[in-house]
Structure 1
Amino acid sequence: MLVSCDHRSSNGSMLLSALIVILLHITCIRSQQEPQEGELIFAHVLYRHGDRTPVDPYPNDPWKDPSHWTTGWGQLTNAGKHRHLELGRWLRNRYQGLLQTTYTNNEIYVRSTDVDRTLMSAESNLAGLYPPNGADVWDSAIQWQPIPVHTIPEPLDEVLSARKPCPAYDNALRKYKSSDEFQQYNKSLEPIFQYVSANSGRKIDSPTGAQFLYSCLHIETLNNFTLPEWTKKVYPEPLRSIGARAFAIKTNTPQLARLKTGPLVKEILQRFQDKASGKLKPDRKLWMYSAHDVTVANLLNTLQLFELHNPPFAACVLLELYRTGNSNAPYVSIYYKNTTAEPEPLYIPNCGQRCPLDQMSKVYQDIIPDNWQHECQVPFLSLTYVEADMRSSTGLIGIIFLTTVAILLVLLGLMAYRKRRSGYHNDKWYLRIDG
């Protein structure tokens, strides 16, 4: 019996030793995969604007009279200004080791979509990020200083507002919306669409339309307005869930993501590469984007980090570049600040929470366009275009019209060519022969 007991003890010791070796091996592998914590050297910050008024109240909205609101439709409210002032202060605390306390244009660049509420949000945010002190104080009665916010018209902006025309994207989106998957989902929502259409006075027949209604009701709730009795059947659910899913539609395939948000991801990664290699001029430390809920959702979904939800006011994505003191390559960490006090670290697919910069570029290479302008072009009468539009009579009529015009132009060209070749002439025309 004693021998048997010693044998079991020996086996237990061997098993324990084996487990220790395995755990050490796993720890070693993980330490090789995850770069050591390093020094923050650069950050991209993209956020949604602050609280606003409804963009377009529905026809039966009891609060649609402008007298109920302190500012115009789709405009930033005082609550929105204050929310971004607080976010700016939070960013000041987070990046106190990265940014100087006094403003310099060589340290930060701020870009906004060309919309009043995003421009005003950026200015409010900067008031919290750079309160004037020392040489920045220009009027003792004003605790604020002007800092430039850059923008370009939306029809010219393929990076941030992503509203620059891209026919290939429109084509791909039509194709996706005509897919069996989307059509079945849309059809399952018809009873809800019929109910909200009848009660709101506006035809709603898509997830995006439902999201617009949810946004309006949510804003009115935040402003302590009493909602109509009929909304209790659909607000907050199921409108909230439908709206959340609507945010994923615009980038729900690799092609849609590549054409809609690819230019933004490409710009971010290229700037990271330039910073890491010492080529970024000026050598800034923070690049800030002021945009919309759909911008936040599109970026997260394109990076495969989006969990279905409606991005709240001042939702903030932080993409941070770190440099380690050893031979490890620079790495990127991404955080999402939703409504929580601290941001949530996100796990980059096939890379981790600390993703080496070179590896990150490989992870997202399929959604980074080589030449966005060229990729946005649609070949004349391309098969994809035909597949997307054959389901609608308008699209079919357009295709037939364009085809007819093309055939007529070819025929006219052939007739003119044959006349020249035949030597046709009269009082006004003759065949010219060059020697």
Structure 2
Amino acid sequence: MGNQTSKTTPGPNAKAIFQTMLMSDLHLEFSQQVIPKFPVVASILILAGDIGRPDLPSLQKFLLVQCQRFEHIFYVAGNHCFYEGEYETRLQQLQELNNLHPHIHFLHNQSYLLPFNVRILGTTLWSHVSEEKASAIGVLLNDYHHIWTRGEKLEGDATIQTRRLITVDDTNRWHAQQHAWLLEEISKARKNREHVVIITHHAPSRHHTLPKYNVDLDIDDAFVNDHDADCVDPVRLWMYGHTHASTDLIIKSTRVVSNQLGYAHETTGFRPNLRITLYDDGAYYEKEYVTANFEQLFFSIMLRSSPILLLIFHIIGSVDQEARLIGTHIVYRHGDRTPIFAYSTSSVSASFWHNGFGQLTRRGQLQHIRLGQHLRQRYSRLLNTTYVASELYVRSSDSDRALMSAYSNLVGLYPISKDKLKEKILSNLSNQDEWPELLPWQPIPVHTVPASEDYIMGVSQCPYFFELVEQIQSGEQVRNISNDFQEFFRHLSNWTGSEVNNLFDAWILADAILIEALYNVSGSWADTMTLAKLEQIVGLSFYYLFDSPDTNRLIAGPLIADIWSNIQNLITNQSRGYKTKIYSGHDASIVAVLSFFDANYFHHPPYCATLLFDLYYLPANNSYALKIEYLNSSDSFAGYAIQPPPCSEAMCSIDVLRPWLENRLPKQDMKTECMPRKSSSSMAGIGFNKMYQIDVILISFVFILFPTGSLN
């Protein structure tokens, strides 16, 4: 091959030796993800990771369809392939994809030789995280909260299989192994005079490969590597994904390309008809099958026929007929928190946790800063860059973790540019009437009311709700589930020193144990199987608690009514309508709203889980529509569209939604709605402080769900 330099134009006698299509980050694990139709313009399809999860049918279906269209499909794993599972198990499932069809080639530290001496090298190439950024990335990046790995513990003479979350040390080790393999394969290819094409998920270089917000957050090490030195002969082409920013550049003598779809709300530069061709003289050629640009189209039509200009101007005018976002309502759960309490046999007490029980952690603060940055990016055209009181209103439950989450979120939502930071930003505060422009923070009010008066973010004093909880707990569905778990409950009682008789008892303990496991301080008995069952118990408990129309109406009703009131104000152009209302709450708030719209499922909303109620104006028919999305991950920010029951599509007409919604919302004031229904009940007028008059099981349940009279 010689020492070739990449060039864009092939010579007159050059021969094409390799031609492929490329795409990544399709994220088929999200059921609402829409994949653009793409033509077949090459015989090879390269998938540079994060296509889907191997434990879900969507990935296999996609691959089998493409097998009928392409002769070869080369595929490497992305980080999301391993989410909600064990690294080792998922890797095996990915390798088994090769058995689906002979056209599929999943590559994990593996190579494939094509005609004309083209060598394909495939691996994930996890990024190397520097020591100074390891702490922040370990907190901020969801990989370290949603991917597990196997481990072992010695207990006496026995070796016990355990499961733990991956760490930065794990991904750095994988990076070192995979990079060493790549270097060895490149060396072999050089000796064999082969043309090398590399497929990785993480980027090989940090030059022009990252969206700006990842750099601003100082988490670039989680997405890119510093392997520019490897971009030399015989490496002709290096394709990657992961950054959600498509690129096409030359690094040294190697063409570095990505073609990433990303999440539904993102603009990544994805090209569904991208084709890449390599030639034997070292040139590459790219052709995109797209229409002429607008300027060319305009002048060519203008020269031909003036009547068609009317069509052009009609097309231009039609842009104004598109849906226009005029308001949003954001409901989110607080960030990572400490346990609410310690069970009898726990090895850690309140003093172990920074600020004690039930408090937002540093991890939780950073999670919400990142969510705030995402919201800034998503709503940049709706919100001013500085706080304007008439366009934003923030409401929080009266709990420390929800209030601190709201303030942390606002740091990300209203950031101060890095280049404005100075060493002595507070040096000039002599003018008491002007806010110092260089101060890296904007004071923004967060509103709350005492828990005893709060129906929007909690249930306050609501005896009827607690009556319903008792009924659900003793109902047939929960009793049957509890019976199925009896053997596990006996073990749980022994492990924790706590009495566990039913689903809700186990739920209380699960909350503490799962958090301890997240911080690697749980007992050795909290192995993979135990943690999986506890996660299942939490999901079942939330589901059945709010599956009742009465419970989800009492919890979600006042919150949705408040959102609905602001929507009406925006539609009627009243000055008291806010462009953005934010509600900082708890997991029960999220589940109750999902249940209200018949969209809940067996799960526990993760920290920072977010519901978005976007209000659009439709100029075409002078009407309004609401689109609801659920972001159910702490860092991916990919939304699931929620289709309300009366609507035929996710973009739901306000006129269609109005009668259904008004029929479902509480009909009376909440004090009346919450009056007890039991005729002989002694619960009349009961509040949270008197809940101890109810049976012990319900006391414990209320303690975990309503620790301060508001939602957990």
Mapping 1:246-257, distance limit 5 Å: 246-257=541-552
What is the letter of the counterpart of residue 625 of structure 2?
A: Y
Mapping 1:11-410, distance limit 5 Å: 38-64=323-349, 66=351, 68-132=352-416, 138-139=435-436, 142-162=439-459, 164-223=460-519, 225-232=520-527, 234-279=529-574, 281-339=575-633, 340-351=636-647, 352-371=649-668, 372-378=670-676, 381=679
Q: Which moved more, 1:364-373 or 1:102-111?
A: 364-373
Higher strand share: 2
Listed as ranges, the gaps of 5+ residues in structure 2 are 1-320, 421-432, 684-692, 695-712
What is the letter of the counterpart of residue 399 of structure 2?
A: V
- How many angstroms does 1:152 deviate by? 0.7
Give me the TM-score of the superposition, normalised by structure 1.
0.74
What is the letter of the counterpart of residue 581 of structure 2?
A: W
Structure 1 counterpart of 2:217 = none
CA distance in 2, matches of 1:227, 1:138: 47
What is the letter of the counterpart of residue 86 of structure 1?
A: R
Q: Deviations over 1:69-92 (max 9, x none)?
A: 333111111111111011111100
Query: Is contact 1:247–1:297 with CA below 8 Å preserved after alignment?
Result: yes
Query: Is contact 1:214–1:243 with CA below 8 Å preserved after alignment?
Result: yes
Query: Is contact 1:137–1:145 with CA below 8 Å preserved after alignment?
Result: no
Matched length: 348
Task: Summarize the Cα distance change of 1:221–1:199 in structure 2 as closer, same or farther, 3 Å threshold.
Answer: closer
What is the letter of the counterpart of residue 212 of structure 1?
A: I
Query: Is contact 2:347–2:521 with CA below 8 Å preserved after alignment?
Result: no
Task: Summarize the Cα distance change of 1:188–1:156 in structure 2 as closer, same or farther, 3 Å threshold.
Answer: same
CA-based RMSD of the aligned residues comes to 2.7
CA distance in 1, matches of 2:434, 2:357: 34
Listed as ranges, the gaps of 5+ residues in structure 1 are 1-35, 386-393, 396-435
- How many angstroms does 1:137 deviate by? 8.8
The higher-RCO structure (CA 8 Å, 6+ apart) is 1
Q: Percent of counterpart pairs with the same letter?
A: 32
- How many angstroms does 1:379 deviate by? 5.6
CA distance in 1, matches of 2:389, 2:676: 40
Helix, strand or coil for the counterpart of 2:623?
A: coil
Query: Is contact 1:273–1:357 with CA below 8 Å preserved after alignment?
Result: no
Higher helix share: 1
Task: Summarize the Cα distance change of 1:273–1:282 in structure 2 as closer, same or farther, 3 Å threshold.
Answer: closer
What is the letter of the counterpart of residue 120 of structure 1?
A: M
Task: Summarize the Cα distance change of 1:110–1:191 in structure 2 as closer, same or farther, 3 Å threshold.
Answer: same
Q: Deviations over 1:167-191 (max 9, x none)?
A: 2222233233332222222222222
Task: Summarize the Cα distance change of 1:168–1:322 in structure 2 as closer, same or farther, 3 Å threshold.
Answer: same
- How many angstroms does 1:212 deviate by? 3.2
What is the letter of the counterpart of residue 245 of structure 1?
A: L
Task: Summarize the Cα distance change of 1:227–1:106 in structure 2 as closer, same or farther, 3 Å threshold.
Answer: same
- How many angstroms does 1:232 deviate by? 1.7
CA distance in 1, matches of 2:416, 2:560: 33
CA distance in 2, matches of 1:137, 1:128: 23
What is the letter of the counterpart of residue 258 of structure 1?
A: R
CA distance in 1, matches of 2:350, 2:529: 23
Q: Deviations over 1:85-127 (max 9, x none)?
A: 1111110000001001111111100000000111011000001
What is the letter of the counterpart of residue 301 of structure 1?
A: S
Give me the TM-score of the superposition, normalised by structure 2.
0.46
CA distance in 2, matches of 1:191, 1:349: 39
Task: Summarize the Cα distance change of 1:237–1:264 in structure 2 as closer, same or farther, 3 Å threshold.
Answer: same
What is the letter of the counterpart of residue 657 of structure 2?
A: M
- How many angstroms does 1:304 deviate by? 1.2
CA distance in 2, matches of 1:129, 1:115: 21
- How many angstroms does 1:254 deviate by? 1.4
Query: Is contact 1:50–1:81 with CA below 8 Å preserved after alignment?
Result: yes
Helix, strand or coil for the counterpart of 1:196?
A: helix
Task: Summarize the Cα distance change of 1:233–1:87 in structure 2 as closer, same or farther, 3 Å threshold.
Answer: closer
What is the letter of the counterpart of residue 413 of structure 2?
A: L
Helix, strand or coil for the counterpart of 2:445?
A: coil
CA distance in 1, matches of 2:466, 2:516: 32
Query: Is contact 1:257–1:367 with CA below 8 Å preserved after alignment?
Result: no
